């Protein structure tokens, strides 16, 4: 089954530069699967365009990238795209994955209560490490790739028509494989240092979905 997917990709600081770069792999994969990709990149990742694209195209799958807090996710220059008690009903009937800090704590469950089909996100900060020498070329950063692969696994699984719970589970399995590999191989000291943060991200990845999907 083909998907229509809306992706937000703000790019204005170090964190958003990296996660926007990671999302390119999802865009490529989605297009290879025959999906229509609605890409809100940089300045287009603003609330006005976000709301307009959802109302006009009604994408069943939404991939949010950006800074967040317990009750919100932002776009370019921290423009609030969706917030609890404001416009979370925009996510009605949608499956959402938010690669942002904290939004899985409150925005996730509240969105599902207000009609979202499912919401996958992180209930506390999403943390990744990077190579200082490659921060201007995130796509070449092998340290950051240790985090991007398990994070992107959520969207890869959703695009393969797995349920939200299955996608979350497969992402956690990907985190665990990375952790195990680093613990039981001849990893460099820098690679070993990332283990604690892989564990943190794995433990804080959460999924909420409508009861009917169970």
Range of the domain at 94: 4-213
DSSP 95: E
**Residue 211 confidence (pLDDT):** 82
Chain mean position to CA 48: 21
Chain mean position to CA 197: 16
**Residue 1 confidence (pLDDT):** 47
With helix as H, strand as E and coil as C, how does 48-68 read?
A: HHHHHHHHHHCCCEEEEECCE
DSSP 44: G
d(CA 116, CA 60): 10
Which candidate, 43, 12, 8, places its Cα nearest to that of 26? 8
What is the total count of domains within the chain? 1
Backbone conformation region of residue 27, classed left if phi is above 0, alpha if psi is from -120 to 50, else beta: alpha
**What does the pLDDT profile of the chain (214 residues) look like in tens digits?**
467 999 999 999 999 999 999 999 999 999 999 999 999 999 999 999 999 999 999 999 999 999 999 999 999 999 999 999 999 999 999 999 999 999 999 999 999 999 999 999 999 999 999 999 999 999 999 999 999 999 999 999 999 999 999 999 999 999 999 999 898 877 677 677 899 999 999 999 999 999 854 4
CA angle centred on 206, ends 29 and 101, rounded to 5°: 80
Which candidate, 104, 73, 60, places its Cα nearest to that of 205? 104
Alpha-carbon torsion (140, 68, 198, 94), positive or negative: negative
Alpha-carbon torsion (50, 55, 56, 59), positive or negative: positive
**Residue 93 confidence (pLDDT):** 97
pLDDT digits (tens, 9 = 90+) for 158-209: 999 999 999 999 999 999 999 998 988 776 776 778 999 999 999 999 999 9
Q: Is the pTM of this model over 0.75?
A: yes
d(CA 98, CA 108): 9
Give the other-Cβ count within 10 Å of 65's Cβ.
29
User: How far from 1 is each of 23, 48, 56, 73, CA to CA, in Å?
Assistant: 21, 29, 21, 28
Residues 6+ apart with CB under 8 A from 144: 18, 22, 128, 129, 130, 131, 134, 138
How many Cα atoms are found within 13 Å in the side-chain-facing hemisphere of 194?
25
CATH code for the domain in which residue 178 is found: 3.40.50
């Amino acid at each position: 089954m083909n998907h229509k997917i809306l992706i937000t990709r703000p790019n204005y600081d170090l964190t958003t530069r990296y996660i926007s770069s990671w999302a390119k792999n999802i865009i490529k994969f989605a297009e290879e699967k025959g999906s229509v990709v609605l890409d809100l990149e940089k300045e287009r990742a603003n609330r006005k365009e976000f709301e307009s694209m959802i109302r006009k195209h009604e994408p069943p799958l939404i991939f949010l990238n950006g800074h967040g807090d317990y009750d919100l996710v932002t776009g370019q220059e921290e423009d609030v795209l969706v917030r609890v008690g404001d416009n979370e009903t925009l996510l009605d009937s949608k499956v959402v994955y938010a690669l942002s800090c904290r939004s899985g704590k409150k925005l996730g469950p509240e969105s599902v209560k207000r009609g979202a089909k499912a919401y996958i996100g992180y209930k506390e900060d999403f943390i990744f490490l990077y190579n200082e020498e490659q921060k201007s070329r995130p796509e070449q950063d092998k340290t950051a790739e240790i985090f991007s692969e398990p994070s992107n696994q959520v969207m890869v699984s959703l695009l393969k028509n797995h349920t939200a719970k299955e996608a979350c589970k497969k992402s956690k399995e990907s985190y665990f494989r990375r952790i195990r590999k680093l613990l039981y191989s001849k990893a460099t000291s820098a690679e070993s240092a990332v283990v604690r943060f892989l564990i943190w991200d794995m433990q804080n990845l959460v999924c909420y979905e409508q009861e009917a999907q169970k």
